Chains A and B, each alone.
Chain A
């Protein structure tokens, strides 16, 4: 592989574009195929399948053994609430490969001191997500328990079929939330996708432990979803 090819591959990954690096195992020639590029014949079929399953592997095409390495966009995590849990969750999620943004309009919470090195936006979610709307590759974690702040991103994530939607709050808080979301026109099926109480049940108590429980639940949703290429 030459350096220009490596640069092109890394650029596609930075730009969140799905790409496959094809390597001919005899001869060592390699090239990049972007999602949407027209490729004919057996190889075209294999590439289409690799994009839809997200699985890398060796294929035989045109009498050659080729290795297809699939690079799909990394998942995003949008955390609503610059709270104590988020201070632990943001760096842990980044370490496991999530592209993280923390959003909180309350400027007392959303300070650089509390979230050093984190993509932090001290604004309302509606405005903070204008440049990168929630999509199927996004995990939405709402932890303010303030309906004014949490409800809009929750509705937006459910409508966009975000692969994970979690909301902090007691059963009582969640019951009230369900009523509001029904009034906002969401179906029971959509509302049932919200992980609440948030996080895997590991008996987490401290904010850091809750962050572990939430991250584990988001990873489970990511790795166990039916269509990794996002439908």
Chain B
């Protein structure tokens, strides 16, 4: 006898149910099909100690909802803020984040690394 439980998520991603649910690129596709406007941020280079490896994604919609990460939560806020402009304007942007400068109130990476993030609109 063979008994199989099919996974409830129809759009199952590689990596099983949890991955399909939280996988940023799968989420971006779902959001687009729901008619939402979406931007994708991708870590394209890292220097020193960086929390997320090259290729990591954060996806953002026009209302500021997001899924995924490009750092350990240090610079996501700034990327989300930039995404609004990319979604409206359409032109892709290159963002760079370095060490946090607390006196200048600038966002940055407390771990001391540097990352470059490519932010583009889908569509």
Contacts and interface: CB of A to CB of B under 8 A. Distances in A.
Contact of A98 (B11, B15, B91, B94): B15
Interface-centre pick from B16, B94, B122 (highest chain A CB count, 10 A): B16
**Main secondary structure on A side of the interface with B:** mixed
Interface stretch (B18-26, B64-72, B75-83, B106-114): B18-26
A121 B3 contact: yes
B14 A73 contact: yes
A10 B26 contact: yes
Contacts of A52: none
Contact of B45 (A57, A91, A110): A57
A86 interface: no
B123 interface: yes
Given A117-B5, A117-B8, A94 B17 contact: yes
Contacts of A67: 42, 44, 118
Contacts of B17: 94, 117
Contacts of A121: 2-4
A58 B118 CA distance: 11
B104 interface: no
A127 interface: yes
A69 B45 contact: no
Contacts of B2: 121-123, 127-128
Interface string A110-129: 10100111111111000110
Given A9-B25, A23-B118, A58-B44, A115 B15 contact: no
Interface in B51-67: 53-55
B3 A122 contact: yes
Nearest to A17: B14
A7 interface: yes
Given A3-B32, A16-B14, A117 B7 contact: yes
Interface of B: 1-8, 11-19, 25-26, 28-29, 32, 40, 42, 44-45, 53-55, 91-92, 94, 118, 120, 122-123
7 contacts: A56-B53, A58-B44, A74-B13, A74-B19, A97-B15, A119-B5, A119-B16
Given A91-B18, A107-B1, 13 more contacts: A3-B32, A14-B11, A14-B14, A23-B118, A28-B92, A67-B44, A97-B19, A100-B16, A115-B5, A117-B17, A119-B5, A119-B7, A121-B3
